């Protein structure tokens, strides 16, 4: 007997994140897409919006207002930040929610208001939502109704740093994160800044000292440290579609070495299916995780005494967004966590 | 009871084609890789050669001389052209062979010698090998011992043109194929011509009127036409990793229209799982097939009366090589043809 | 005594074409920019719109309405198609005009209306404007008041084909032009189709059998042939900033060879400073002309008897637009044609 | 009367650096290339090695052994590291030398031996060579016989940091330099690591804590600080041809602010023709300096109290190599420093 499939509604299917979620779900043996929304493209088949998906049997796009929630067991939301909270607050209580927006990531209402420019519109949900960093909130995710998937940068930063901050191996007040990201992170809305000619053949920093992923990283590292922390987080836009690589510069705790850091990470993630510490001397590269749910971590001794250089890399659309969403959905429905996420990276 | 797995030997696993074959096979539910050869890298784990595969349980690379054929039901060869024929001629008869090199594609010994610069070293096998263009040689492939997978360009050209030449819808003596390819087609051996700085931010033709895929296309179109044909085939190297797009310019048979061509292609490929004719007015793009075994075809009326413009596109490493190899292996072992090839394209 | 400088007004300075014109003019020993317009950015210094020009002493952007024409000897227009004609019609008669838009390229009012969707708004000027393909209209350009610079594709097509059509070396009814272009050709206005992720790592055709450069090519080839001609013109968008490469497929006149074509081109362009026929066997590449006013031509015998394959390549922003504009301006003011255009290509 | 031209010999003309030097020299009003060497390509015209230079009147390539030094007033060397020192030691004393290799950058013989793996072969020259960071060694360069042009990364790091370390505005023991570079920096010799498919669509660190530019940066910052310093220097390879961007993380001296740093840099470089501090809030980008001799500097307050984020960017082939060489040659021959270096950046 075939087991019943989970009926999944995809909210905001017409962005890059939504499309990648659909890519993963059409290959998921226990999920079926029963609803897809896209405000600007409502009424169109998905193949008109994303021709690479034209050959798949998918429901046509509808507006959120037209959505039939009876058809869904869970909704996965890739809506723009700010619009998600009211929509989710209005959903039937029986629906599980995996949110890929930033709306429920920050637990503190004041911090949310400061960084997003308005009071939160669903403060109760904000408090009860579980932070969806799977490797660190697994048990809570299993029982959650609303899971707030971390941002792509926070996922890459936190998988690396939580074990190191939590064990006191590094000095938590001196963390510098230099991030490099591909252009899918900027979304599919037309903007001069993400035209081909403004991104190809070059690199530049953006959101210096003001990127919204900084408070998210700080929130979780503060939990790990048991006290309030700030971090430097400096992202750069570079000419690639997918992927991000974070080079993190840290000061070691007294008497600790880079090797201690490596061992702690290996031990922490040894049983994790998607996280791997590369051997000494190997350089993690974004192209080694492209299209997969993998995270690679690397550790190097610094030339400056008492410091270490750390690398983490992932595909921002997969482990940084849709892949982690599916991973969390699997947990919420009692499925094997890796189901539908077995694809090997696409290299080159 | 789990069904037994097909034991697959991958010869020449250290090239881009080999790596992509491994990507597909690790996700194939009925195949397992039991042997991998790589002359220059023998003794190394695959993860040293392709770090994106480091997390998979794979045999270490060995030389062809060290290979234990008892461990294999089939070998899939991604060896350099010219070296394959002797190795295959020396394999135990019971082993099935799917060859991705050019060694067995040309059935005529003289044509082979002319284009490859030496007499064929396994002429009997050359004669008996089946041309592995799945959609057109399906029945013969099922019963073949040696299948010679077509080149990437011929696959894209022939899927488009065989139905049109075979039905007399176009004038077969006036076919111009302008091809654009990514750099994986040039392989992983270091060459000045494929350095990043020689490929990025530019395009140039290569192998003009002298590319080895021309006689291969001609061989199969001649079969379709029932007489000897020549074609123009002009490839260009452009800055992308994967994918190729062929723009083919044809003269219509008297009284025929571009619409007749479209209908013939739709009808021919309606039941094929991997071939799709895009709707009128849509432009097939390489990025719509990336990482998948899909082929997209497009048909346009030309501004010049009596002519049409045709597009075909595929991922040269998948349908143009490893994917078609797996497709053929499935047929040879009585498996569903699409098994292990269900991945949706990776966009962007 | 220093010679007086030509005072140049740049209309539409905030697009890629305008910026490249400014790049050329700031290094021009006999030109000085006295006026720059940019409707959306009026009031800003150029360095706010194009940071790479922030270090140059340039007038701030104004609207066309605010322009002080007394300050100009010549205006070079990079305005959007359709808006140019009325503006130019209203300029003081003493001002010379070099137009880089499409507004004055087509001499036939009906053809213009058909392809651009409205009646021409300055039909008298349309008739008197000189087509600015420098190498073929040099004498007329010297005496012209309004010069209409050709489109980028027509420049590359016509420099190649006019000598061959004009001498009857090729059959003028059977010309197929497969063009590949970088993304600057699509301009700087934000559009989904030219986002980085929609252009990188891929290629696709656009404007198939409907691109506005086709009638322009036909107009000039018809002049060369002495009768009305149509051509196939099929452009593709590919991942590079600058440059275009045209692969043109032609049928030879009876008894003629590819070598005859090469000789005719070498002879025709031997004295031209910006046009060069590459030696036999060499492949012209867009990256060999990047940033320069150069055009490279290549000729190959086809595998199909009686046919030849021709290549032409140029930088669409330079010889395809701003460079040719400066070249024409030089002629109109009696300066050496190459002045300010001596930069060698930037490779890689 | 035309002034006499400086006769320049280009040693190692067949690499990317050599080609870019030729690009600059052919447009230099007071220089003429009289000699070009290229060991592997000796006997060929430059246009065979670099087709974009085929149209220029240049001497054919010869080996160093065949070079006629009588024809030169100065040699500019772009030879591989390690081979330069013996060749330069053997040159006639009257020849001035501008060296773009690493051979004479490190003044300390032991440091050289440690990082380059062999004793220096011209230790006297090593001592007397002047470090060619033009903006900081201008007077010494004017009188030097041998000028050792800095590495590309050190140029970008030192122009930024010398004024800040020298004035005590930052804590010199806590400098972290995260560098991102295009692929020309890796040279034109075929290597797997710089194939298109290994660089495109991705980023990875290399030479972590072991790059040879670290001791060079340290040498000069130690001079500025008046004591021995170490720095963190972590380069990354990314998909672009030209350009590098350094993001430098520093700790401010007590009581100092990011604004103090900005003011110090503005003041220091106000009169420099090639160095510019961008306004607050603007992000320097590699594409804003492409093809030019410009350096852009940016300063940002950090989110971490007491820290700042600094950006410096340049074109590694121009200000990072050939452009600075020409700038130094100009000084050594009493010419205006900017001669031949006036090209505006090529954007996009």
Q: Are residues B275 and B179 in the same domain?
A: yes
Tens digits of residue pLDDT in B135-157: 999 999 999 999 999 999 999 99
Q: If we measure between CA atoms, which residue out of C323, C344, C317, C341 comes closest to residue C152?
A: C317
Q: Locate C42 and state its tokens.
A: 């009026």
Let me know if residue A134 belongs to a domain: no
Among C77, C149, C152, C197, the active-site one is C152
* Over residues D158-164, mean pLDDT: 98
Query: How far is Cα D108 from Cα D68, in angstroms, rounded to an integer?
Result: 32
Among D72, D77, D152, D197, the active-site one is D152
Query: How far is Cα D212 from Cα D109, in angstroms, rounded to an integer?
Result: 14
Q: If we measure between CA atoms, which residue out of A111, A71, A110, A108 comes closest to residue A92?
A: A71
Contacts of D115 (CB under 8 A, 6+ apart): D106, D212, D215
Phi-psi region of A25 (alpha: psi -120 to 50; beta: other; left: phi over 0): alpha
- Burial group, residue B8, by CB count within 10 angstroms (0-12, 13-18, 19+): buried
Beta bridge partners of B312: B246, B297
**SS3 labels along chain D:** CCCCCEEEEEECCCCHHHHHHHHHHCCCCCEEEEEEECCCCCCCCHHHHCHHHCCCCCCCEECCCCCCHHHCCEEEECCCCCCHHHHHHCCCCCCEEEECCCCCCCCCHHHHHHHHCCCCCCHHHHHHCEECCHHHHHHHHHHCCEEECCCHHHHHHHHHHHHHHHCCCECCCCCEEEEEECHHHHCCCCCHHHEHHHHCCCCEECCCCCCCHHHHHHHHHHHHHCCCCCCEEEEEECCCCCCEEEEEEEEECCCCCHHHHHHHHHHHHCCCCCEEECCCCCCCCHHHCCCCCCEEEEEEECCCCCEEEEEEEECCCHHHHHHHHHHHHHHHCCCCCCCCCCCCCCCC
Q: Locate D55 and state its tokens.
A: 């149209």
The full DSSP string for B62-102 is E-GGG--GGG-SEEEE-PPTTTHHHHHHTS-TT-EEEE-SS
Q: Are residues B176 and B101 in the same domain?
A: no
pLDDT at B2: 59
Q: Do A241 and C191 touch (CB under 8 A)?
A: no
Let me know if residue C165 belongs to a domain: yes
Q: Where are the beta strands (DSSP E) in chain C?
A: 6-11, 31-37, 61-62, 74-77, 96-99, 130-131, 146-148, 176-181, 204-205, 232-237, 244-251, 275-277, 295-301, 307-314
For residue A281, give the chain B residue with the closest CA. Answer: B48
CA A162 to chain centre: 16
Q: Are residues C60 and C91 in the same domain?
A: yes
Task: Evaluate if residue C1 carries a pLDDT over 50.
Answer: no
Q: Locate B123 and state its tokens.
A: 């002429």
Query: How far is Cα B311 from Cα B157, in angstroms, rounded to an integer?
Result: 9
pLDDT at D103: 94
Q: Are residues B236 and B300 in the same domain?
A: yes
Phi, then psi, of B342 in degrees rounded to 5: -85, -5
Q: How many domains, chain B?
A: 2
pLDDT at D2: 60
pLDDT at D80: 87
Tens digits of residue pLDDT in D46-86: 999 999 999 999 999 999 999 999 999 999 999 988 889 99
Beta bridge partners of A176: A232, A249
Where chain B has pLDDT below 50, the residues are: 1
pLDDT at C281: 85
List residues in chain D touching C: CB distance below 8 A.
Answer: 16, 19, 22-23, 26-27, 50-56, 184, 200-201, 241-242, 276, 278, 282, 284-285, 287-292, 294, 342-348
Q: Are residues C139 and C192 in the same domain?
A: no
Q: How far is B54 from chain A (nearest CA, A)?
A: 9
Residues of chain A found within 8 Å of residue C205, distances taken between Cβ atoms:
none
C84 near C94, Cβ under 8 Å?
A: no
User: Computed from CA positions of residues D228, D230, D231, D236, in that sequence, does the dihedral angle turn out positive or negative?
Assistant: positive
Q: Are residues C285 and C325 in the same domain?
A: no
Among B72, B77, B149, B152, the active-site one is B152
Q: How far is A198 from chain C (nearest CA, A)?
A: 8
Q: Are residues B274 and B166 in the same domain?
A: yes
CATH of residue B38's domain is 3.40.50.720
Beta bridge partners of B7: B32
CATH of residue B205's domain is 3.30.360.10
Phi, then psi, of A191 in degrees rounded to 5: -145, 145
Q: Do A201 and D283 touch (CB under 8 A)?
A: no
Whether the link from the prior residue into B93 is cis, omega within 30° of 0, is no
Let me know if residue B232 belongs to a domain: yes
Contacts of B2 (CB under 8 A, 6+ apart): none
Q: If we measure between CA atoms, which residue out of D62, D236, D187, C278 comes closest to residue B192?
A: D187
Where chain A has pLDDT below 50, the residues are: 1
Of A184, A194, A201, Cβ closest to residue C241:
A201
Q: Note down the domain range covering D71.
A: 6-128
Of B50, B200, B276, Cβ closest to residue A347:
B50
Let me know if residue D282 belongs to a domain: yes
State how far the alpha carbon of A236 is from the alpha carbons of A209, B287, D237, D258, in Å: 12, 25, 14, 20
Q: Are residues B168 and B238 in the same domain?
A: yes
Let me know if residue D15 belongs to a domain: yes
Q: How far is C24 from chain A (nearest CA, A)?
A: 19
> Where residue D1 falls among pLDDT bands split at 50, 70, 90?
very low
- Residue A316 CB neighbour total at 10 angstroms: 29
Q: Are residues A299 and A199 in the same domain?
A: yes
Residues of chain A found within 8 Å of residue D153, distances taken between Cβ atoms:
none
A153 near A243, Cβ under 8 Å?
A: no
Q: Do B290 and A56 touch (CB under 8 A)?
A: no
Half-sphere CA count of D39, side-chain side, radius 13 A:
8
Q: If we measure between CA atoms, which residue out of B344, B338, B306, B303 comes closest to residue B323?
A: B338
Q: 3-state class of A109 per DSSP?
A: helix
List residues in chain A touching B: CB distance below 8 A.
Answer: 16, 19, 22-23, 26-27, 50-56, 184, 200-201, 241-242, 276, 278, 282, 284-285, 287-292, 294, 342-348
User: Computed from CA positions of residues A59, A65, A68, A72, in that sequence, does the dihedral angle turn out positive or negative?
Assistant: positive
Q: 3-state class of C146 per DSSP?
A: strand
Q: How far is C165 from chain A (nearest CA, A)?
A: 36
Query: How far is Cα C274 from Cα C318, in angstroms, rounded to an integer?
Result: 11
Task: Evaluate if residue D277 carries a pLDDT over 60.
Answer: yes
Let me know if residue B290 belongs to a domain: yes
Q: Locate A86 and state its tokens.
A: 């009211």
- Read off the pTM: 0.97
Query: How far is Cα A152 from Cα B54, in angstroms, rounded to an integer?
Result: 23
Q: Locate A141 and state its tokens.
A: 């995710």
* Rg of chain B over all Cα atoms, to the nearest angstrom: 20
pLDDT at A1: 44
Beta bridge partners of A17: none
Query: How far is Cα C54 from Cα C56, in angstroms, rounded to an integer?
Result: 6
Contacts of D281 (CB under 8 A, 6+ apart): none
Q: Are residues A93 and A222 in the same domain?
A: no
Task: Evaluate if residue C317 carries a pLDDT over 70.
Answer: yes
The full DSSP string for C65-91 is GG--GGG-SEEEE-PPTTTHHHHHHTS
A296 near A284, Cβ under 8 Å?
A: yes
Query: How far is Cα D184 from Cα B152, in angstroms, rounded to an integer?
Result: 30
Query: How far is Cα D214 from Cα D234, in angstroms, rounded to an integer?
Result: 9
Q: Are residues D180 and D52 in the same domain?
A: no
C5 near C30, Cβ under 8 Å?
A: yes
D287 near C51, Cβ under 8 Å?
A: no
Looking up tokens 């899971």, which residue turns up? A147
Tens digits of residue pLDDT in C60-85: 999 999 999 999 999 999 998 888 99
Q: Are residues B27 and B90 in the same domain?
A: yes
State how far the alpha carbon of D178 is from the alpha carbons of A235, C273, D257, D279, in Å: 12, 45, 21, 22
Let me know if residue D325 belongs to a domain: no
Active site residue B197: no
Q: 3-state class of A223 per DSSP?
A: helix
Let me know if residue A223 belongs to a domain: yes
State how far the alpha carbon of C1 is from the alpha carbons of B319, C4, C33, D29, D277, in Å: 70, 9, 21, 19, 36
pLDDT at B31: 98
């Amino acid at each position: 007997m075939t087991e019943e499939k989970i009926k999944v509604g995809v909210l905001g299917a017409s962005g890059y994140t939504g499309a990648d979620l659909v890519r993963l779900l059409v290959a998921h043996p226990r999920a079926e897409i029963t609803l897809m929304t896209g405000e600007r493209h409502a009424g169109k088949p998905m193949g008109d919006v994303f021709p690479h998906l034209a050959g798949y049997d998918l429901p046509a796009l509808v507006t959120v207002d037209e959505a039939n929630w009876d058809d869904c067991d869970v909704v996965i939301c890739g809506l723009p930040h700010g619009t998600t909270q009211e929509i989710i607050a209005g959903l039937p209580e029986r629906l599980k929610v995996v949110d890929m927006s930033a709306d429920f990531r920050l637990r503190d209402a004041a911090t949310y208001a400061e960084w997003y420019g308005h009071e939160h519109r669903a403060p109760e949900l904000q408090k009860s939502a579980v932070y969806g960093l799977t490797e660190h909130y697994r048990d809570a995710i299993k029982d959650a109704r609303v899971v707030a998937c971390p941002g792509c940068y926070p996922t890459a930063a936190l998988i690396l740093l939580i074990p190191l901050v939590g064990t006191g191996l590094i000095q938590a007040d001196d963390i510098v994160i230099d991030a490099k990201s591909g252009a899918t992170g900027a979304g599919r809305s037309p903007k001069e800044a993400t035209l081909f000619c403004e991104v190809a053949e070059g690199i530049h920093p953006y959101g210096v000292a003001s990127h919204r992923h900084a408070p998210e990283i700080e929130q979780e590292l503060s939990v790990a440290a048991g006290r309030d922390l700030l971090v430097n987080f400096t992202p750069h836009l570079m000419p690639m579609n997918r992927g991000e690589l974070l080079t993190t510069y840290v000061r070691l705790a007294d008497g600790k070495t880079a090797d201690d850091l490596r061992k702690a990470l290996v031990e922490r993630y040894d049983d994790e299916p998607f996280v791997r510490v590369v051997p000494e001397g190997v350089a993690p590269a974004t192209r080694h995780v492209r299209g997969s749910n993998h995270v690679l971590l690397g550790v190097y001794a610094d030339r400056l005494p008492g410091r270490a250089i750390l690398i983490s890399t992932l595909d921002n659309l997969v482990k940084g967004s849709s892949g982690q969403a599916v991973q969390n959905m699997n947990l919420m429905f009692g499925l094997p966590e890796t189901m539908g996420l077995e694809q090997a990276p696409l290299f080159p």
